[in-house]
Each structure stands twice: as C-alpha cells, then as structure tokens.
Copies of this chain bind each other. A is one copy, B any other.
C-alpha cells in the first residue's frame, strides 16, 4: 500500500493498492470482503493523519464504530490491477459522521463508490459521543461528489433461518464483538459459487444494529425482494437482528 504525499490536512486522501493473487476470489476479482477491509483501513489512515484515529481516541476509551455501509460497483479490480481508494468526509452531525470512498484505476477509470456512516462510542458505557465537539471536522469536509444512492434503513426479514452456526474465534475483533467484515463474509456465503459465476454484486448495503459475541449463534435469514435483490438478516439466539444487509446482483456479460 502506497500513501500519496503528506496527508495531514488533505480533505481527500488517496491510498494505492494492488490486487494480489492470494486474495482474489474464484472469479479472479477483488472480493467485496477485502474491499470492505480496505474501506476500514483507509478510513483509519485518514483519521489517524488528523489525529482523530484509533490511537488518539482509545486514550479516552473511545472508538469509531461503523453504523452503515453502502458499496456500489460498476466493476471490480482484477488480479494484478492497481486501484486507488480516495476517501473524504461529506458531513457530520451530533451523532454521525458520513465518510465516502471512490475506487478508481491508476488511469482514472472508476470502479465504484461507497458511503459509510460512523459514530464514536465510549467503550465502557457504549454511549455515543457528541461529534460536534470534534470541531476540526468542520473545516475538513469535502464537497467531492459521491454519485451513488444514500444508505437506507433496511427492513426486517421474516420467516425461517436459512443457516445457523456458532460464532467462531476468527469472527471476533479487538472489542470482542464480531468483526464488521466478518458479518459481510457470512452474508455473502449464503449464496452459491455458481451465483457468483453468473452474476456480480452491483450494490451491497449493511446496517449494523447490535453486536454479536463469542458464544452466540449466527442465524441467517434471507428473502428475495425482487429478481436478484436479496434482504439478509443476521439474528442472535433471541431472534434479534444484529445486522441487516441488502445485496443486488446483476448478470455478468
């Protein structure tokens, strides 16, 4: 990963990656899970460059928490391709900050965009901090365009669980909750390899609602809302949604 220039006060920061052979999926493309990991990473790098990242906040027992994410792709970078992730703050209010992402080739070709919504929580009380006290955010808002639809509030999925299995060691992150990317992996694993051979994910949305822990089961509920559009809930043992997703496939040409 190559960081472009000094980031300190850049409203839009750009980070360059290559798609490595060992990380691609069966279709030879950057998997959506790896892209989500890069989204988290570049958000961290940019916040760190402003001294509002993980290492600063943790001193006050605070941390950024991802609340919603929407990714929309025209195409995915393929094995050996280089891609540039640009990220910027669109705005913020008392409770949430909106951070956007652009995924482009070195030649300027656009792969897609993402929108994300974050809050800062107190790790002890689990209450959210007032972002308007982060005054410096105001002067760092960029008006760069993010031409994809905003995140929506996803609706519950009813019915019977499609799959159920325990939360495992590799699912658990630093906060001892399930890692944000692992929820996405579990949602995407409810589809078959053949579905990915025939179609690719045009748009993916996730709402993080509560937090799953070690010792719980994942219960995956899925419903086809329309042709190639799926709603997915991951619920806990009490049948409460821990997160909701929406996946829109389109046929490969």
Q: Are B189 and A168 in contact (CB under 8 A)?
A: yes
CA distance in complex: A20, B55 (Å): 10
Instruction: Find the B residue at minimum CB distance from A165.
Output: B165
Q: Are A28 and B193 in contact (CB under 8 A)?
A: no
Q: Are B54 and A37 in contact (CB under 8 A)?
A: no
Interface residues of A in 168-215 (CB under 8 A from B): 168-170, 172-174, 176, 179-181, 185, 188-189, 191-193, 196, 214
A27 to chain B, nearest CB (A): 9
Q: Are A22 and B188 in contact (CB under 8 A)?
A: no
Instruction: Find the B residue at minimum CB distance from A176.
Output: B26
Instruction: Say yes or no for A1: interface residue by CB 8 A criterion.
Output: yes
CA distance in complex: A179, B176 (Å): 26
Oligomeric state, in copies: 2
Interface residues of A in 94-136 (CB under 8 A from B): none
Count residues of chain A with CB under 8 A from any CB of chain B.
Answer: 38
A108 to chain B, nearest CB (A): 23
Residues of B with C-beta under 8 A to A214: 26, 192-193
Residues of B with C-beta under 8 A to A79: 54, 174
Instruction: Say yes or no for A41: interface residue by CB 8 A criterion.
Output: yes
Residues of B with C-beta under 8 A to A168: 189
A215 to chain B, nearest CB (A): 8
Q: Are B22 and A37 in contact (CB under 8 A)?
A: yes
Of B37, B80, B173, B189, the contact of A25 (CB 8 Å cutoff): B173
Instruction: Say yes or no for A31: interface residue by CB 8 A criterion.
Output: yes
A113 to chain B, nearest CB (A): 20
Residues of B with C-beta under 8 A to A172: 25-26, 193
With contacts A26-B176, A193-B214 taken as known, whether A54 is within 8 angstroms of B170 at the C-beta atoms is no
A232 to chain B, nearest CB (A): 14
Binding site for B on A (CB under 8 A): 1, 20-26, 28, 31, 33, 37, 40-41, 44, 54-55, 79-80, 165, 168-170, 172-174, 176, 179-181, 185, 188-189, 191-193, 196, 214
With A20-B44, A22-B37, A22-B180 already in contact, 9 other A-B pairs whose C-beta atoms are closer than 8 Å:
A20-B40, A22-B173, A22-B181, A25-B170, A25-B172, A28-B174, A33-B170, A54-B80, A192-B214
